[in-house]
Structure 1
Amino acid sequence: MAVITLFSAAGAPGVTTTALGLALAWQRPVYLVDADATGSPAVLAGYLQGQAAHDRGLVELAVANRVGNLNAAIATVAMEIPGSPVSFVPGIRSHQQAASLVNLWEPLTGVLRGMEQRGMDVVVDAGRIGVAHSAQPLVRSADLSLLVVRSDLPAVAGARSWAKAVREQLLSTGSEESLGLVVVGSGRPYSAREIRKVLGLPVVAEIAWAPEDALVLSTGAQPGKKYASGAFQRSLAAAVSSAQGVIATNRQRLSSVQRKADSNV
């Protein structure tokens, strides 16, 4: 079980669509947390087309945190996404509420990591981390943090400074191997290999460029006949497998380091 955080550095590379796609493809119980500080209710208004009545989310968690009830409250704010193993925690309703979350991010990281004891994985949509009051603590503390980037020059150039900054933050804590890239639309025009070289981060997954299929997740569009077996869904399934593999490898490495440290005491 693990916490995976997806975030962007610039533009709109498809963080929410990718996070939702990963959660739906996860194939075991998973919490999907909308931690985007811009206040865009993309899942409720997009994938669920505004048809799901739900009035609880991160704001209620912020209130619970102030009264010392955060751990118990996490289960009360989630809603089930029909036909899936996903429990969804909606984000803020407007950007004006973002400031109320500043004192929530750090304690929320511990609560989300504790979901492992309940048999749950967690996927966090952290949105763009360069905006005010963004969920950077969730990026720094995740088992795997994934910078989502498209393969065009403006996207790669915009991501470069943030890739360096986050990598340096994680280097200071010895957890730099928990940071990687998700490339959306590799080869349009730059390859994943070229992007990896420029940004200095490993490519954990590549999401196929399939705008019509992506609309199913971003706007609730009706899926086409080949949606379930198409390149978009195959790439999401491969991304899940790759993310889980990276986390398992990192945990084995950390466990080995800890055993060696203990043996030297």
Structure 2
Amino acid sequence: MALIVLASASGSPGVTTTALAFTLNWHRPVLLVDASPDGASGVFAGYFRGAQEPTGGLINLALAQRDGTLVEALPRETLILDPDATAEKSAWFLPGIRSHEQAPSMLPLWEPLAEQLRALHRNGQDVIVDAGRLGLVGWPQPLIAASDLTLLVTRNSLPALAGVRSWANALRDQFATVGGLSRLGALLVDEDGRWPTVPTVVPRVRPYAARQIAKALQIPVVASVDWDPEVAEVYSHGARKPRKFESSGLLRSYRAGSASIHSILATNQAALAPTIGGRA
């Protein structure tokens, strides 16, 4: 089991869309947790197109935590994301808050919830957390601290990178303190696809490459996803799948990103394995 957190430092780089797309293209059973403190409910309004009635989700779990019934309440608050998925790739969803005003009431929940999410390994289930924007009131810092991998989602333009740099420094220091730098990385929404294929009259600033970003932020770039709004709207807006959806560059990049995440998690797990006689 792994706990993976996706978060943004500023702007709207596409954390919710990316987290949802990873969940629906994951290689094993997985739970998507909407832990964003802004209360936007992007999955209900977008992917479900308003057809799915919102449940209490995290609010009900916060109440259950006060009553000492969090363990029993957690499975009751999850919804199936893809009814057609096989048992080996089942995808579930834990809804978040409905308003940013509810965010402060989440603070006592995050640590015990992190323990319960990590315990889902007994069911062979991974967890992907949409943490939204970092630093807002009620943000799920304990979930980041407990994560097996936290990914800062950013576009690769200069304005986006300027916004993410201070948070990259802060998280790098936080993970370094506990010897967990390998649990921090960046995920790029690659704006290179917006670059015109023919010369234009007005010069444009080309986005930065992954190696440049890794050097500037001093954290590895774990994966990149293509800039393709038409395909992304299948996840962000519940749009009809366009022609050649399955072979699109964006879907391939989601699957490649999932594979890269899995590889890093396996490497980290091997590094933490106990040694016997001085050998791993």
TM-score range normalised by the length of the shorter chain = over 0.9
In structure 2, what residue type is equivalent to 1:171?
A
- List structure 1 segments (4+ residues) > 3 angstroms apart after TM superposition: none
Cα deviations across residues 208-255 of structure 1 (Å, max 9, x unaligned)?
A: 111111111111111111111100000000011000110000010011
Q: Percent identity?
A: 46
What is aligned with 1:11?
A: 11
What is aligned with 1:25?
A: 25
User: Out of 117, 123, 144, which is 1:118 matched to?
Assistant: 123
1:151 and 1:54 mapped to 2: Cα distance? Answer: 34
Cα deviations across residues 154-195 of structure 1 (Å, max 9, x unaligned)?
A: 110000000010111111111111000100015451111111
In structure 2, what residue type is equivalent to 1:236?
Y
Higher alpha-carbon deviation: 246-255 or 63-72: 63-72
- Residues 1:236 and 2:254 aligned together: yes
Residue 54 of structure 1 and its aligned partner are, at CA, apart by 3.4
- Residues 1:253 and 2:271 aligned together: yes
In structure 1, what residue type is equivalent to 2:256?
A
1:186, 1:192 within 8 Å by CA — same for their partners in 2? no
What is aligned with 1:48?
A: 48
In structure 2, what residue type is equivalent to 1:218?
S
What is aligned with 1:91?
A: 96
Cα deviations across residues 80-104 of structure 1 (Å, max 9, x unaligned)?
A: 0133421100000000100110101
3-state secondary structure, aligned to 1:75:
helix
- Residues 1:192 and 2:210 aligned together: yes
2:180 and 2:214 mapped to 1: Cα distance? Answer: 18
User: Out of 171, 190, 193, which is 1:166 matched to?
Assistant: 171
- Residues 1:74 and 2:74 aligned together: yes
Cα deviations across residues 64-118 of structure 1 (Å, max 9, x unaligned)?
A: 1111111221101000013342110000000010011010111111110000111
Residue 56 of structure 1 and its aligned partner are, at CA, apart by 2.4
What is aligned with 1:35?
A: 35
- Structure 1 residues 186, 247: CA separation in 2 closer, same or farther (over 3 Å shift)? farther
In structure 2, what residue type is equivalent to 1:163?
A
Task: Give the TM-score normalised by structure 1.
Answer: 0.95
In structure 2, what residue type is equivalent to 1:111?
Q
Residue 196 of structure 1 and its aligned partner are, at CA, apart by 0.9
Larger Rg: 2
User: Out of 117, 135, 139, which is 1:134 matched to?
Assistant: 139
1:72 and 1:244 mapped to 2: Cα distance? Answer: 29
- Residues 1:203 and 2:216 aligned together: no
1:184 and 1:22 mapped to 2: Cα distance? Answer: 13
What is aligned with 1:227?
A: 245
1:235 and 1:178 mapped to 2: Cα distance? Answer: 21
Cα deviations across residues 106-155 of structure 1 (Å, max 9, x unaligned)?
A: 11111100001111110000000121110111112101111000011111
What is aligned with 2:202?
A: none
1:186, 1:206 within 8 Å by CA — same for their partners in 2? no
Cα deviations across residues 6-58 of structure 1 (Å, max 9, x unaligned)?
A: 00000000000000000000032110000000001000110110101232200
Residue 263 of structure 1 and its aligned partner are, at CA, apart by 5.9
3-state secondary structure, aligned to 1:197:
helix
2:178 and 2:71 mapped to 1: Cα distance? Answer: 25
2:145 and 2:14 mapped to 1: Cα distance? Answer: 20
Trace 1:151-162 onto structure 2 (pairs within 5 A).
Answer: 151-162=156-167
What is aligned with 1:62?
A: 62
Matched length: 261
